[in-house]
Amino acid sequence: VIGVVIGKTDVRSFPDRKNIGSERYTFNFTIRDSPTYFINVQSWGREEYIRSLSESFRVGDCVTIENPLIQSKEAEREEKFNPVTPSCYKLLLSENHSVVKTSSCYDMDTKLLSLLHLPVKDPQDYYSLGDIVANGQSLDGRILNVLAAVMSVSQ
């Protein structure tokens, strides 16, 4: 699978249920290879492997994923913590079987770079900041998708 990384989480650790007293490490990222299709990728393993893999690329890099395990995603549970994707599957990386290679999008396909700026939600499923200000009372307690642009960043 070849795609551009459009999102990435930090490395986290959890107690290992199989080996009491040790921890397993994980991080997730999302790749996109077309305007319509993107998928979440999950990686679990030893701390050294996960940290090294996580540090090997960043959002905006193009990656080639070899030998991932394809799993059905548990939509209700997984989409709380990951972007909602159009696929009912996710990719799972294994330290022993999977390989992630990073390369420049210019070297691979410049069309992949344009995918970085496309929203991952339906364009009809957003509220503007003006809508929220005008209708704040009726929206109270609801979870909304907001489409906004950063105008400036300062201290």
Amino acid in position 13: S
Domain residue ranges in the chain:
2-115
Q: Measure Cα distances from 105 to 55, 57, 63, 113 in Å.
A: 18, 12, 9, 6
The CATH H-level superfamily of 2-115 is Nucleic acid-binding proteins (2.40.50.140)
Alpha-carbon gap, residue 8 to 28, rounded angstroms? 6
Q: Give the least confident one: 5-9, 13-17, 76-80, 145-149.
A: 76-80
Q: How far is CA 78 from the centre of its chain?
A: 11
Question: DSSP secondary-structure letter at 149?
Answer: -
Confidence of residue 66 (pLDDT cuts 50, 70, 90): very high
Locate 63 and state its tokens. Answer: 């990656």
* Mean pLDDT, rounded, of the chain: 85
Confidence of residue 78 (pLDDT cuts 50, 70, 90): low
* pLDDT surpasses 70 at 106: no
